[in-house]
Chain A
């Protein structure tokens, strides 16, 4: 027999449902607007503004995007590649760093921790960073530059270190040592399996950072074939704004291959679409990673 809910629980439920429904509508409406705009003819968007139901149905936006589909697909490829490689490599490096810094018998751990922590307080600024990567490391226009700078995030290293330190007692390492395990064996046989929740959290942060990254492309990539997805989209939308800003003073005439409003919207759909379809299937991992991370902080 079902237990009857008391009044307060029911009121609470009703209120929370209402809030959630409103919040999801607030999230969905803009997206619907984009879909509708991508199916509207460009002229109608400028003349009548955006509507939830296209005033003048047209597929020209999608047609323009798919005249050169390889560009979007290539950008997709670059982003997937950097995300996968960056996350894997970054996780490897950061768990290693976290483990080493968590070991109490590592003599310089405080000094190293301080050095890592210090960089979160004082950065060199944009220009030295740019000079370092382009001039001294020669990374301009390479895939490395999209991955390399994000590999070791001080905050995530500290997170990893604290996680390992708090969840694994020193005695564990000691007993493993007595049993004859070397440092590296301890790392991959004991530390790694025990820190999956931490790895999930850090991995999630890393993957999101790589997926959403556009700034590295913006600064360091000149070859349009190596643009990341987010930057590709951002750039298309920006070119239009540039024209509006420059006004008539320059005589710059770029009208021929300017993306129109509907093309921009169609592009947004094409770019975000696949992730949207994928999201319901991977969502539970996201939730898991975040909640575990939250409890373990």
Chain B
């Protein structure tokens, strides 16, 4: 008797709680202020606030810039914008929450490294094909058609690609003053690079020959495959695809190529190029060079190289850095894929048309563009001889160049550069001569069928492959055997078959030969 009574009580409480939840749910439902008419047209007479989401940290002067932009946008589009920043702390988790919670967001940053392809495939973004000609015709014209085609996932456009062409391909970075002093060879491939490092080891025993940190796979392996095996991109799961033969998939793990790679690291470790504690180093590669701790970097992109040169010019004017791009050795350079920088409209956006119209302004209207890229002229920056010039220093100026992390809406026609950037432009011009399209980044991997195996394999890699790549294992062949055995147990076969299938479908769809 008492039991049933208690149960009744419990039930009634549960029901009460549910009712309250439902009420709360009802209350907050209409938080996004949509100005869409019933037929899907944008009603411009209704004022809206757009929610704009960016990665990274907000610049200090953001509120001033936002106010200026809103003044313009209110007049032109009857809209105001709120710029939100996720910060770099747990940004990938936040990004996931923002897209899965159905929060009203009108514009959000996309890139290959924020898994644009996967999110687009899962339906997190709004397809823009029909919306573009109506809401942002100028933007549609401004972005070249092949870029629109490049960002298509499953035949639909989900993001507005950035149009600025840059190369984030890698290249050797080394201390030219030391090279001249000891008359060492210029690094252009693995052999000459090793000779350079040998020389540094001999003459500067206290210096690290190469700047490394705990991210061994990124520091060594990814660079190595770009330079030596001419891989199509940073491929996962021991898959090998060469740029020249994009339709041929082979097993890189266990191949002679990989053995040669691992033996190289072993040799480097024996010579003392790779420190024993490398998996614990947290310093950035660049800092190690600019502080004089290390004498080279095995692969960095031209823009970062330039940042280092500028930094050194202020602190150590007598040091010299030099750069040699890998593409000059491999024979081809791939400019960034259109997916690399872009802005998408999430499914949850209450005002997709207005958001797109605003984004068009941001890209094509010089006033909007300069404000959001460089800040307020005279306060944050000034233009001298056509060059960008920051007022004050990075710590006193509240809005540094591209301080809003505005990489996606750069407009090549309005862009201002620091005078030091000429160095990068020169490298880019060289790479332009041998440019070929990036074939890899448009590929959208779908790992739902082998998620468990993927997680298991990642563990195996960490435990058995990273030490091999850091040259910490004495017997390379044996270590590789152990790793392969463990990887097979984790389900490598299944992953590779699935991946190959997907890749072949992609190659066929895009007509890559």
Contact = CB atoms under 8 A, between A and B. Distances in A.
B60 A68 contact: yes
Interface string A246-263: 111111111111000000
A239 B405 CA distance: 13
Contacts of B89: 218, 231, 234-235, 238-239
Nearest to B10: A111
A255 B56 CA distance: 13
B88 A242 contact: yes
A183 interface: no
B56 A251 contact: no
A47 B307 contact: no
A235 B57 contact: yes
B168 A108 contact: no
A110 B101 contact: no
Interface residues of B, number: 73
Contacts of A254: 56, 405
Interface string B70-93: 000000000000001111111100
B209 to A, nearest CB: 15
Nearest to B104: A135
Interface stretch (B123-131, B296-304, B376-384, B502-510): B296-304
Contacts of B437: none
A238 B88 contact: yes
Contact of B85 (A115, A136, A222, A257): A222
A68 to B, nearest CB: 7
A243 B10 contact: no
Contact of B28 (A42, A137, A240): A137
Nearest to B310: A255
B283 interface: yes
Interface in B27-41: 27-29, 31
A248 B24 contact: no
Interface string B202-238: 0000000000010100110010000000000010000
Contact of A251 (B14, B24, B168, B291): B168
Contacts of A110: 6, 9
Interface in A159-175: none
Given A47-B293, A112-B13, A247 B215 contact: yes
Contacts of B56: 239, 254
A138 B287 contact: no
A256 B285 CA distance: 16
Contacts of B405: 252, 254
A47 B28 CA distance: 55
Contacts of A73: none
A136 B24 contact: yes
B301 A255 contact: no
Contacts of A216: none
How many of chain A's residues touch chain B, expressed as a range?
35 or more
A115 B13 contact: yes
Contact of B10 (A114, A138, A218, A224): A114
A134 interface: yes
Contacts of B84: 222
Given A46-B287, A244-B215, A252 B60 contact: no
A134 B168 CA distance: 37
A195 to B, nearest CB: 26
Nearest to A44: B291
B395 A250 contact: no
A241 B281 CA distance: 11
Contacts of B10: 111, 114
A275 interface: no
B447 interface: no
B407 interface: yes
A241 B283 CA distance: 9
Interface string B402-439: 11010100000000000000000000000000000000
B1 interface: no
Given A130-B101, A241-B88, A251-B168, 6 more contacts: A136-B29, A235-B87, A244-B215, A247-B222, A249-B234, A257-B400
Interface of A: 42-43, 46-47, 64, 67-68, 71, 108, 110-112, 114-115, 126-127, 130-131, 134-138, 140, 218-219, 222, 224, 231, 234-235, 238-257
Interface of B: 6, 9-10, 12-14, 17, 24-25, 27-29, 31, 56-58, 60, 62, 84-91, 94, 97, 100-103, 111, 113, 166, 168, 170, 213, 215, 218-219, 222, 234, 282-288, 290-293, 299-301, 303-304, 307, 311, 315, 336, 340, 394-396, 400-403, 405, 407
10 contacts: A43-B315, A108-B13, A111-B10, A127-B100, A130-B101, A222-B84, A224-B57, A234-B89, A249-B168, A254-B405
Chain A to chain B: the 7 pairs with minimum beta-carbon distance, closest first: A251-B168, A242-B88, A222-B84, A247-B218, A136-B28, A46-B291, A256-B394
